[in-house]
A and B are shown apart, each in its own frame.
Chain A
Amino acid sequence: MGPSGTGKTTLLKLIARQLYPDRGQIIVDGVDIATLSQRELYELRKRFGMLFQNGALLTDMSVFENVAFPLREHTNLSDRLIRLVVLPKLHAVGLRGAAELMPSELSGGMARRVALARAIVMDPDILIYDEPFVGLDPISMGVIARLLRRMNDALGISSIVVSHDIKELAEVSDRSFLISDGHVVAAGTPDELRNDQSDMVRQFMHGLPDGPVAFHYDAPDYKQQLLGTHK
């Protein structure tokens, strides 16, 4: 968790090596991910599932084919077996009936749920979610949050979730980190964070307008700018 522009998505991209670190180490499952060759990286990524902010569905494929895509790429399963794997995943996100729709026919929330089905279709060890609750209606949000928690417990997956949704996150997370200006400023269980008395954590957890995190972007003097003496 953390204020906007603080580097949460950048951190996820670094963990997945979509971005290359300038310095330092990123250890994923005991391996420094920056040292991997492309082949080794792809082998590691087969154990990843990633949910992008906008879903990132492949627009020239149906919902079913989007979810089946990793299976078709990495396995030799027959169409029948692929069907047996894909339909339960779509059922889990409530979109089995939308299997034949194209991404352009889905709402933003539905697209993100399809993307979630695609992210879990290979039964990954690590799931990375970038703002999974944005744009979801309350029912979908609750279902997805519970699904996220259930998958973690039942399949032994590690999930990394970036979100602003403190309430939903508190229900599903074991441990939360608050990031600001590229640094971890607080860590602990959701309860610990909620009861933390530091200004930064209180402001964020309780949505307070005043505190160390400025609501306004750096700007010149308001009066001067209105009067035109400053650009």
Chain B
Amino acid sequence: MTRLLREVFSPALEFVRNFGAMVLFFVQLLRYTPWTFVRRFGLVVGQVYNAGALSIVIIMVCGLFVGGVLGLQAFANLERFNAEEATGILAAFALVKEIGPVITALLFAGRAGTALASEIGLMKATDQLSAMEMMAVNPMQRVLVPRFLGGVISVPLLTAVFTMVGLLGAHLVAVELLGVDVGAFWQQLQQAMDVEDVYEGIIKSIVFGVVASLLAVWEGYSAVPTAEGVGRATTRTVVATAIAVLILDFMITASLI
């Protein structure tokens, strides 16, 4: 009976233990953030380039096609009610409040998050982090916090790019291909959308940026220092980020409605 209970509860206990360790790790990251931001600004900028600038192409391509699909779907359904001019409103609400932040965070996890986790995991496996410790250089300040901040800064910026390109994609499909009036498309969008709607998207993108970056850095840092361990950490980064982002998206939406 004891063994049965142990087998049932041990995964839950393991999860709680790991979650607690991650929270402590997060506190450490926050503790070193002000110092790193001021004294290691160059490293942070470098990581914004790695995580953000190098992700722009994939973000723009995906944004364009997601926007295009939204334009198509919105047009096809609104046409039945003779409301196709509202295509812009529907695409904009979906992009700004939901799809922009969520898909950007998922794409970030897939491109930059996995790169971060595997890079940090490999640094651990090859004793590079230990070597820094031995050279009296804190890896938290030199490696982890700059990468974390790079992600936190990049995700909201990438979300803005994704959303703008998505709107362009919706415009191209709805206006240029399907013949929706350009004035109606943009004017209705402008009238319907409040600044609070944009705030919702901004809040989500910041929260998702923190979560995606934290999970990537944490999974890399806590990886078992073997090839298999680093591979698992990389996979876990994507899976954990996807689950966390979707749960948080629901929670934030529910709290703001």
Taking Cβ atoms with an 8 Å cutoff, the residues of A that contact B are: 16, 18, 38, 42-43, 45-46, 48, 50, 52-54, 56-59, 69-70, 73-74, 115, 118, 122
B134 close to A48 (CB less than 8 A): yes
| Given A56-B126, A59-B126, A50 and B136 contact (CB-CB distance below 8 Å) | no
Q: By the criterion CB–CB under 8 Å, are B130 and A56 in contact?
A: yes
Among B122, B128, B133, B136, which residue has the most Cβ atoms of chain A within 10 A? B136
B195 within 8 A of A: no
Give bound CA distance, A53 to B131, whole Å.
11
> Does B128 contact A56, Cβ atoms closer than 8 Å?
yes
- Check B138 for interface membership: any CB of A closer than 8 A: yes
Interface range, B side: 10 to 19
Question: How many angstroms from the CA of A77 to the CA of B19 in the assembled complex?
Answer: 43
The 6 closest A-B pairs by CB, nearest first: A56-B131, A56-B127, A42-B136, A45-B136, A50-B134, A46-B136
Does B247 count as interface, using CB distance less than 8 angstroms?
no
A-B contact pairs, 28 of them (CB 8 A): A18-B133, A18-B134, A38-B138, A43-B136, A45-B136, A46-B136, A50-B131, A52-B127, A54-B126, A56-B126, A56-B127, A56-B128, A56-B130, A57-B131, A58-B128, A58-B131, A59-B122, A59-B126, A59-B128, A69-B135, A69-B137, A70-B135, A70-B137, A73-B135, A73-B137, A74-B136, A115-B131, A118-B135
A50 to B132, CA, bound (A): 10
B142 to chain A, nearest CB (A): 8
Mark contacts of B115-128 with chain A using CB atoms, 8 A cut-off: 1 yes-contact digit, 0 otherwise.
Answer: 00000001100111
Q: Give chain B residues whose Cβ lies under 8 Å from the Cβ of A46.
A: 136
Question: Closest CB-CB distance, A109 to chain B, in whole Å?
Answer: 16
- Nearest opposing residue in chain B for A47, CB measure: B136
Given contacts A50-B134, A56-B127, A70-B137, 4 further A-B pairs with CB under 8 A are A56-B126, A70-B135, A73-B135, A73-B142
- Measured in the bound complex, the distance between the Cα atoms of B8 and A231 in whole Å is 28
Cβ–Cβ < 8 Å partners of B136 in chain A: 42-43, 45-46, 70, 73-74
Rounded to whole angstroms, the CA-CA distance of A115 and B135 in the bound complex is 12
Residue of B nearest to A69 (CB): B135
| CA distance in complex: A152, B131 (Å) | 22
Residue in B128, B131, B132, B138 whose Cβ sees the most chain A Cβ within 10 Å: B131
CB proximity to A under 8 Å, residues B56-95: none
Question: Chain B CB within 10 Å — which of A52, A53, A74, A118 has the most?
Answer: A52
Chain B CB count within 10 A is highest, among A38, A50, A58, A59, for: A58
- The residue in A16, A42, A56, A59 that gathers the most chain B C-beta atoms within 10 A of its C-beta is A56
Complex alpha-carbon distance, A122 and B137, angstroms: 13
Residue of A whose beta carbon sits closest to that of B119 = A60
> Within the assembled complex, what's the spacing in Å between the Cα atoms of A50 and B131?
8
Contact B134 A16 (CB under 8 A): yes
Could you tell me the distance in whole angstroms from the C-beta of A9 to the nearest C-beta in chain B?
A: 11
CA distance A59 to B123 in the complex (A): 8
Shortest distance between the CB of B110 and any CB in chain A (Å): 22
Once the chains bind, are B135 and A52 in contact (CB under 8 Å)? Answer: no
Question: Is the Cβ of B126 less than 8 Å from the Cβ of A18?
Answer: no
Q: How far is the CA of A50 from the CA of B136 in the complex (A)?
A: 11
In the assembled complex, the CB of B46 is this many whole angstroms from the nearest CB of chain A, namely 10
- A91 CA to B135 CA in the complex, in Å? 21
Which B residues lie within 8 Å of A74 (CB)? 136
Which chain B residues (133-190) contact chain A, with CB distance < 8 Å?
133-138, 142
Write the chain A residue with the least CB distance to B143: A58
CA separation between A38 and B140, bound complex, in Å? 13
A54→B122 CA distance, assembly (Å):
13
Which A residues are in CB contact (< 8 Å) with B126? 54, 56, 59
How many Å lie between the Cα of A133 and that of B127 in the bound state? 18
A50 to B127, CA, bound (A): 12
